[in-house]
Chains A and B, each alone.
Chain A
Amino acid sequence: MASVHDQMAAAGKVKRSKDLPQGVERLKEEHRKVVKDCRSQIEHWKKVENDYESLQERLRTLPDKLSYDIMVPFGPLAFMPGKLVHTNELTVLLGDNWFAKCSAKQADALVEHRKKHVKNTLDDLQKVMKNFQNRADFTDDLEKLTGDTGDFVDIREEVINEEEVTKGKHRLAHKANSKPKQVYLLELEEDKEKKEGDDERTTGVLSEEELWARLDELERQEELQDERYRLDSTDTNGEDTTSSSEEEKEADGGSDVQVNGHQKENGWLPTSITSQMNGTNGSHPEDEEEEDCDEEAGNGLPTIYFSHTAEFKKVRINTGKNTTLKFSERNEQKAQAKRKKKSGKSNGHSPHESYKITSPADIYRVFVDLVNGEPIPRKSILKSRSRENSMCSDTSESSTADFEERRAAFGRSWSHDDATHSDTSDGITEEESPTGTSPRTNGRFEAFTGTVIEKDPLPCSIPHLTIAPPALPTIPERKLEEVGPEAPQEPPKRMSKFKATQLHQK
């Protein structure tokens, strides 16, 4: 019986290697064989070429003399003296039993022609050899990879939602002066829409009084949203795992598995990330990619899963330092908040969280406070009406887009129960921001305290890493300092600012 099986195996059945190493070994062996064959063949053809060279030499010198005195081979063992005559008449074998009589020069031409063929063959062999050599090297590397013996790390990006990839809006060139105006316009339009929606007024122009009243109303709405965001943000910070696990349940895909393994408690390497962030922030990256922790992900290879984030917004402090914040992260937080709400989670709301900065999103909130005399509390950190006054102004190119996005996302997050994608929200900005669009500030934006919060990338391939750059801490620190004393009074302060400006104007 056994012999039958062996014969079966030998009779052309595919050899199934039990282990990967065996297969790899065999593959390498085959590669090596091919390479060796190529080498020997190349040797052979090189010899042929050399022979032809020497033949050509002989042909050139042969017609010099009418006859040569030579030792003629006489059988296998003897020579005898003789003469070589008709030195210019050669009978050349053309191949396949064909002969031709020609002169030395013609023979030379023929030899030249044959040498060309040999050269071609040699080139082909060289190419094949190189090819297989590369393959052998590659299998070597592959073996190393799978064996975890090398320094290779597999970096994968699982693109869940292809929509996220194209974010054209973010690529808007930054025009210094254009945005404030745009903002103004948008705000007015928004207000107009709301007004028309709410009060059914058809007047296109709002009086100042009405405007202020409207702004107050929006401010109040924003307060509510801030509280909600704060609530959610604290939840997010504290319960990232659960939220992410929820999100994982919502979404599907193998990346979830990996993300699960990389919860922030587990493999998340804040230090490494921060160090990475240090480096990257110093160079003002447009897009930051977050690394999930390196873990053996079951494929025997250290794998880093990351997902692209939307491009960073650069928040520049007037000191000239640049820091980057992820815009989409904010959206993601909003989305998370929404999701959490959707899932029925209601967490204890800690009202004192307003000044606590736990995520870069909080910075936005914080930043708003720093913008002096802003009639509209929700200013993109990006943009400040008066650049001189604002503590930080956004220098990213996409601030307008981001602004719109934020507004849209904001509105959407509260008005719709769909999962919000930063991109999708882009498309819906104006039409679908019925609530709380003008107040931009989300309470979710907390200053970064140095801890990295891992976000689940799934629903909208949102970046994991919240920034933890060394540069950033300065901002949050400052903000903390500033916000600290301010924070408790923040809501009222905003009001007061508003009121102040209102009164001022009056």
Chain B
Amino acid sequence: MAEAIHKKLQSELEKYQQMQKDVSKSMSSRQKLEAQLTENNIVKEELALLDSQNTVYKLIGPVLVKQDLDEAKATVSKRLEYINGEIQRYESLLKEMERKSEQHREVLSSLQQEYQRAQGQAVGKV
């Protein structure tokens, strides 16, 4: 009896750990997205400071490709929107994962209690 519970406990624990890892991964990617968000905001503002006389380049691999100022502005705005959407997605994902990990935690605690009880009973029996 105790053994079975013990096994169950182990499996639950592993699942929980996995969940935690996923959560942390999502967290880090979300943080990256946030950094990109701020950066693109700065780029947008700086582009606004420039006038059409300056040439704008985009680094694509080893190549600096000339871009139109307006085009650049549009591109940057689109990228900003994309980043925002990604962040939202990650947010919801994170919440979901949190909830699941919470459930797992509860399951684990109950299992642990059971296990302890079983152990106690086993000791008593013996």
Give me the interface of B with A, judged by CB distance under 8 Å: 6, 9-10, 13, 16-17, 20, 36, 39-40, 42-43, 45-47, 49-50, 54-60, 64, 67, 72, 76, 79, 101, 105, 108-109, 112, 119
Contact = CB atoms under 8 A, between A and B. Distances in A.
A98 B79 CA distance: 12
A99 B105 contact: no
A96 B79 contact: yes
Given A8-B13, A95-B40, A96-B40, A101 B49 contact: no
A344 interface: no
Given A96-B39, A98-B76, A101-B54, A106 B49 contact: yes
B67 to A, nearest CB: 8
Interface stretch (A56-64, A110-118, A286-294, A301-309): A110-118
Contacts of B60: 97
Contact of A102 (B6, B16, B50, B112): B50
A318 interface: no
Contacts of B108: 8, 11
A4 interface: yes
Contacts of A101: 54-57
Nearest to A111: B46
Interface string A1-27: 100110110011100000000000000
A176 interface: no
Interface string A79-101: 00000000000011011111111
Given A102-B54, A114-B42, 17 more contacts: A11-B13, A12-B101, A12-B105, A13-B109, A92-B46, A94-B56, A95-B39, A95-B42, A95-B43, A96-B43, A99-B58, A100-B56, A100-B57, A101-B56, A101-B57, A106-B49, A117-B42
19 contacts: A4-B13, A5-B112, A7-B13, A11-B17, A12-B20, A91-B57, A94-B42, A95-B42, A96-B76, A96-B79, A98-B47, A98-B72, A99-B56, A100-B54, A101-B55, A109-B49, A110-B49, A113-B45, A114-B46
Interface in A210-224: none
A95 B57 CA distance: 11
Top 9 A-B pairs, shortest CB-CB distance:
A99-B57, A97-B59, A95-B43, A102-B54, A94-B43, A95-B39, A101-B55, A94-B46, A100-B56
- Most B Cβ at <10 Å: residue of A5, A13, A95: A95
Interface of A: 1, 4-5, 7-8, 11-13, 91-92, 94-102, 106, 109-110, 113-114, 117
A334 to B, nearest CB: 58
A410 B82 CA distance: 79
B10 to A, nearest CB: 7
A467 to B, nearest CB: 58
Contact of A100 (B6, B50, B105, B119): B50
A100 B36 CA distance: 19
Contacts of A96: 36, 39-40, 43, 76, 79
Nearest to B36: A96
Given A11-B16, A117-B42, A94 B47 contact: yes
A5 B108 CA distance: 11
A470 to B, nearest CB: 64
A288 B119 CA distance: 62
A56 to B, nearest CB: 15
A110 B67 CA distance: 19
B89 to A, nearest CB: 20
Contacts of A11: 13, 16-17, 20, 108
Contacts of A100: 46-47, 50, 54-57
A101 B50 CA distance: 9
A346 to B, nearest CB: 60
A57 to B, nearest CB: 20
A4 B20 CA distance: 17
Contacts of A7: 13
A469 B94 CA distance: 66
A99 B54 CA distance: 10
A4 B6 contact: yes
Contacts of A94: 42-43, 46-47, 56
